[in-house]
Structure 1
Amino acid sequence: MLESSKPEDLLNTALSALKSGSGYAAAIDRIPVPVYTTDAEGRVTYWNQACIDFAGREPQLGSDRWCVTWQLYTADGEPFPDGECPMARALREKSSVRNEIAIAKRPDGSRVAFRAYPTPLADDSGALTGAINMLIDISDEQSEILKEQASRCRRLARSTNDANTSTILKDMANGYEETAALLHHG
């Protein structure tokens, strides 16, 4: 088991494993959070067991693009437009993307909120060769945020005299609560 579970330390462990060359797979497999790599076009080339546990499925080598998850949504619950998820942007912009929240939908319908840490990889000449990504589950944190949003909507709905506004706010509250209930905890 690794000594630190700080995201930065886990990512540095994964990056060090890749730089060491041979044996990187065994080192990445020991990391207790989902870590995967892609080629320069975003096709998944490697993943650890934690990715399978996280995504609820085994990624499809060479055909899954950008992410190991079945379906990917923004923090607002909207599907990510093709090529706009954190990994796609990191590859396109050749720059690390940090502090962005996404939601993975599993084949069983449950969802997992996470922070992604996509980091481009380059060869000795600086040419982009692919990327590595680490996913940190923040479902509990997001569930609480969604519940707070639902509570705010319900308070606003009670305080307005406009029936249409009240209905819209109640619908929004229901949506937040439904999404919170779908998030996998643990």
Structure 2
Amino acid sequence: MDLPTDPPESDEHMGRNPAKPPEPAGEMWNFVASLADRKAFLNQLGEGVIIADVAGRIIFVNDLARQLHGQARLGVGPEQYSETYRLFTMAGDPFPIEDLPLTRAVRHGEITRDTRWRIRRADGTEILAIGNARPLYDDHGRHIAAILTIRDDTQRHADEQALEELVRAKDVLLHEVNHRVKNSLQLVTSLLSLQASRSQHDDVRQGLLDASKRIAVIARIHQRLYSTGDHDAINLGELLCDLARDNVSAHGGDGQIAIITDCDSFNVGLDQAVPLALCATELITNAVKYAFAGRDTGTIRLSAKRSADGSVEIIVADDGIGLPPDFDPRQSPGLGMRIVNALVSQLRADFDVASSAAGSRFILRHHP
């Protein structure tokens, strides 16, 4: 059966002599007769089908629509759709008559898609339905009927709800994990700091304090994951700026070392955030300790950018005394540079160093 759903162009518009159209009532009866001829076909469809005449009275309900509603009353008009077929909104309220897809198709010629509602059958069972509705037109463009197709959405909706519940449970678990990791790392930093305060040897004390600060960087990352609720990614630009300011404040001595940051706001995964943050922290710490020997003041600049291809560039520069002429970052005996080299290797990143009398510049480029 051909069910035209859009008004055709008129004969006059198509350049033909317009024929006198048949009476609307005759077309409607022809349409109803065609439904009777095609009943077996419509009952084989995998969707429920309900058809209403131009006045909105239901004239056909196929077998699947009958099963979904638990009934198949004909002659029902729009004012009785919700009450007769027991239709409710997803929130559980009676479905407003004017908002029903079939009503909108009948009265306003509207096409609606993927509308959802509840059907509460007389036997007490309830299903979730999803459906589309549209007006039907005859060959002369006259509105003669409207059709509603329905599918049972109950199982899909239940699966979706179950998946959402699993995601919520995962979020709660990860939230708790990050909270516990953060607390454990803070405990370790506190123990190292306490041990450092009791040490009688300057080298041992400094080593313990440095280890404590490195662990504190990782704890800071888990603190951000815990507080933001995003367990898979972290805003690296914001993190590096905060760490840089805290680092210089802790080591710079009465604000004599200035820090200038230029960091974009962008997210990276945790597996990238930890090594990149540690690298930046080590480079800034080295600058604070060694770049301004013989001077009371200085400036450190931190830049963190992400390009269109996803690569991340971190630059730590200073206006200090520069590096020794024979300085090779990959052969440096210092623990800080050894940590940076190990992390650069882990990330498979590019690491370049430039130095002059105007200061030094460390550039790290990571291509995920």
| TM-score range relative to shorter protein | 0.5 to 0.7
Instruction: After TM superposition, list the pairs within 5 Å mapping 1:155-174 onto structure 2.
Output: none
1:60 aligns with 2:69: no
Q: Which stretches of structure 1, 4 residues or more, deviate above 4 A after TM superposition? A: 66-69, 145-152
What residue in structure 1 maps to residue 100 of structure 2? 85
In the alignment, is the contact (CA less than 8 A) between 1:69 and 1:105 conserved in 2? no
Residue 83 (structure 1) shift: 2.3
What residue in structure 2 maps to residue 96 of structure 1? 111
Instruction: After TM superposition, list the pairs within 5 Å mapping 1:22-171 onto structure 2.
Output: 23-57=37-71, 59-63=72-76, 65=78, 66=81, 70-146=85-161
Going from structure 1 to structure 2, the CA distance change for 1:67 and 1:82 (only over 3 Å counts) comes to: closer
Task: Give the percent of matched residue pairs that are identical in Structure 1 and Structure 2.
Answer: 24
Q: How many residues align?
A: 142
Return the index of the structure with the highest Cα Rg: 2
Going from structure 1 to structure 2, the CA distance change for 1:40 and 1:140 (only over 3 Å counts) comes to: same
Larger RCO (alpha carbons 8 Å, 6+ apart): 1
Indicate the RMSD between aligned Cα atoms, in angstroms. Answer: 3.2
Point out where structure 2 has 5 or more consecutive residues left out of the alignment.
Answer: 5-30, 173-368
Q: Distance in 2 between matches of 1:135 and 1:27?
A: 16
Q: Distance in 1 between matches of 2:97 and 2:149?
A: 20
Q: Distance in 2 between matches of 1:35 and 1:14?
A: 15
Residue 97 (structure 1) shift: 0.6
Normalised TM-score (structure 1): 0.62
Normalised TM-score (structure 2): 0.34
Residue by residue over 1:45-80, the C-alpha shift from the partner in whole angstroms, topping out at 9 and shown as x without a partner, is: 0111112211112x2211254579721112222211
Q: Would you tell me which structure has more helix in proportion to its own residues?
A: 2
In the alignment, is the contact (CA less than 8 A) between 2:3 and 2:136 conserved in 1? no
Residue by residue over 1:88-137, the C-alpha shift from the partner in whole angstroms, topping out at 9 and shown as x without a partner, is: 11222212210111111111121111111112111223221111111011
Residue by residue over 1:140-178, the C-alpha shift from the partner in whole angstroms, topping out at 9 and shown as x without a partner, is: 1222445567786xx99xxxxxxxxxxxxxxxxxxxxxx
Q: Distance in 1 between matches of 2:82 and 2:149?
A: 10
In the alignment, is the contact (CA less than 8 A) between 1:44 and 1:68 conserved in 2? no
- Residue identity in the other structure for 1:110: T
- Residue identity in the other structure for 2:96: P
Point out where structure 1 has 5 or more consecutive residues left out of the alignment.
Answer: 1-12, 157-186
DSSP 3-state at the match of 2:75: coil
